[in-house]
A and B are shown apart, each in its own frame.
Chain A
Amino acid sequence: MTAERAGAPAASEASSSVRRLGWLYVVGGGVGLAAAIALILEKLATLANPDHVPTCTLNPVVSCGSVMDSPQATAFGFPNPLLGIGGFAVVVTVGVVLLCGFRPPRWFWLGMQTGTTFGVGFVHWLIYSSLYDIGALCPYCMVVWVVTIPIFWYTTLHNLTSGHLTPGGRPVALVLARYHTVVLTLWYLAIVVLVFEAFWFYWRTLL
């Protein structure tokens, strides 16, 4: 470590990375919140009228209905989007306070890490269920997949590079941080490939 790195430029870089994270939280969290609200509204409409066809049910594959009616949609005994409304609201709020200049202590970041890790794990379980058990895609749910991954990824990167998680893991963290969008892109691509693979028979009939 040279003095140059430890000095002002590094500090300002850290600060701007926190600001970027703040924007990600506000935008990603906001989008996730909107999707969760949309899902809850559709759920309520379906409860009120069992014949209601959700706006996001377009065809047998792109179908919120079959996803919302699946047992996985109430993994904890209540509709999953309730978790999203609670969780994403927190993400947006944290984003706003980060943008206001608040620099949280380590325990706060560990809390964010716990929350986003749970979120990303849950989302991947839902992806698996959607592709291989339910056999349908729900657009609002996919919006949640799309925003949860970067929220988790950049929270983790932030915690790794600022030493909140493992002070010893920094070299790896720096490499990951250096290629952050490559990792994110590969991550997204993997899911896109799985989606295409799982529903290939269906896409094929559309072509």
Chain B
Amino acid sequence: MPNPENPVTRRSRLSTNTVLTLVVLLAAAVVFGGVLLFNGSKSDGADGTRSGGSTVAADVLRKPDSNTLLDKPGAEVTIVEFLDYQCPACAGYYKKITKKLEEDYAGRITFVTRNFPLDMHPLAVPAARAAEAAALQGKYREMYHELYDNYLSWARTADGSQASADLNGAQARFDEFARRIGLDLDRFHRDLNSETVTQRIERDRADGRRAGVSGTPTIFVNGSEFSPSGETFADVEEQLREQIEQELAR
């Protein structure tokens, strides 16, 4: 357009606008279409196989800074577990199911853990604080493993019959874990009761409630709640693996 004053080119001025608008619309249509097609084909098969029916929003289940045991960028399968460190069933899941999943699916899936400390467990919140305080030093996974690997040493009474309420004893164990995984102990102590840690735990709890979690462990596979029908850990494990494999194959 060498001469914008020319009435003849004024027409083409208008058409530049029209052309550009059409280009923008076309580009948008292509992008939208692509996104819809791509995601549509991914979840098409889901309706038949997804047992839970409705899914929970990804941003409820996982915040950008949520702790992970496995983190594969763009993973096809994301598992989210709402857990309580003092809950026996969670410890059972850990020992019999999720610890193995962590090893077997390393590099293939994303495994997110969220706090859902239950009121019935007096040490659940302190343990969650320990895990989050370790997370602030980049050692969440290590602390998670320490807490569950040594579950009996802090979470249960000496005879193992019930949930321990011995806060000092547990705290001493957490310090030991912290030293073992190489945390800066002073900072760990400061962080334990920090507002940041409180907020993170409360946020997880709130998200859990939004996702319909009422007990622990509650596991979501790609947004739909995993509801095992099996009686034994082995059955549950098999079902969970089956679901993961299905989602991976999709």
Q: List residues of A whose CB falls within 8 A of some B CB.
A: 2, 4-5, 9, 178-182, 185-186, 189, 192, 196, 200-202, 204-205, 207
Q: Which 10 A-B pairs have the closest CB atoms?
A: A201-B57, A207-B40, A181-B21, A182-B20, A185-B24, A185-B21, A182-B21, A179-B17, A189-B28, A207-B43
Is B7's beta carbon under 8 Å from chain A? yes
Q: How far is the CB of B63 from chain A (nearest CB, A)?
A: 14
Is B58's beta carbon under 8 Å from chain A? yes
Is B229's beta carbon under 8 Å from chain A? no
Residues in chain A near residue B32, CB distance under 8 A: 196
B25 touches A185 (CB 8 A): yes
| A179 CA / B24 CA spacing, docked (Å) | 12
- Of A5, A182, A196, the most chain B CB neighbours within 10 A belong to A182
| A173 CA / B13 CA spacing, docked (Å) | 15
Q: How far is the CB of A15 from chain B (nearest CB, A)?
A: 15
Among B1-19, those with CB < 8 Å from A are 5, 7, 13, 16-18
Q: List residues of B whose CB falls within 8 A of some A CB.
A: 5, 7, 13, 16-18, 20-21, 24-25, 28, 32, 36, 39-40, 43-44, 54-59, 223
Residues in chain B near residue A201, CB distance under 8 A: 55-59, 223
Q: Given the known A-B contacts A2-B5, A9-B7, A189-B28, are A204 and B39 also in contact in the complex, defined by CB atoms under 8 Å? A: yes
Residue of B nearest to A179 (CB): B17
| A137 CA / B9 CA spacing, docked (Å) | 44
| A204 CA / B21 CA spacing, docked (Å) | 28
B39 touches A182 (CB 8 A): no
| A109 CA / B65 CA spacing, docked (Å) | 49
| A5 CA / B7 CA spacing, docked (Å) | 9
Partner of A181, one of B5, B18, B39: B18
Residues in chain A near residue B16, CB distance under 8 A: 178-179
Residues in chain A near residue B223, CB distance under 8 A: 201
Could you write out 26 A-B pairs with CB less than 8 Å apart? A5-B5, A9-B7, A178-B17, A179-B16, A179-B17, A179-B20, A180-B17, A181-B18, A182-B17, A182-B20, A182-B24, A185-B21, A185-B24, A186-B24, A192-B28, A196-B32, A200-B58, A201-B55, A201-B56, A201-B58, A201-B223, A202-B57, A204-B43, A205-B54, A205-B55, A207-B39
Q: Given the known A-B contacts A185-B25, A186-B24, A201-B223, are A207 and B36 also in contact in the complex, defined by CB atoms under 8 Å? A: yes
Residues in chain B near residue A179, CB distance under 8 A: 16-17, 20
Q: How far is the CB of B9 from chain A (nearest CB, A)?
A: 12
B36 touches A181 (CB 8 A): no
Residue of A nearest to B19 (CB): A182
- Of A178, A186, A204, the most chain B CB neighbours within 10 A belong to A204
Not counting A180-B17, A201-B58, A207-B40, a sample of 14 additional A-B residue pairs whose C-beta atoms are within 8 angstroms of each other reads A4-B7, A178-B17, A179-B20, A182-B20, A185-B21, A185-B24, A186-B24, A189-B28, A192-B28, A196-B32, A200-B58, A201-B55, A207-B36, A207-B39
| A35 CA / B250 CA spacing, docked (Å) | 43
Residues in chain A near residue B54, CB distance under 8 A: 205
Q: How far is the CB of B37 from chain A (nearest CB, A)?
A: 10
| A182 CA / B14 CA spacing, docked (Å) | 11
Q: How far is the CB of B74 from chain A (nearest CB, A)?
A: 15
Q: How far is the CB of A119 from chain B (nearest CB, A)?
A: 24
Q: How far is the CB of A60 from chain B (nearest CB, A)?
A: 10
| A186 CA / B25 CA spacing, docked (Å) | 9
Residues in chain A near residue B56, CB distance under 8 A: 201
Q: How far is the CB of B199 from chain A (nearest CB, A)?
A: 19
Residues in chain B near residue A178, CB distance under 8 A: 13, 16-17
Residues in chain A near residue B39, CB distance under 8 A: 204, 207
| A64 CA / B35 CA spacing, docked (Å) | 28
Q: How far is the CB of A14 from chain B (nearest CB, A)?
A: 13
Residues in chain B near residue A2, CB distance under 8 A: 5
| A23 CA / B229 CA spacing, docked (Å) | 64
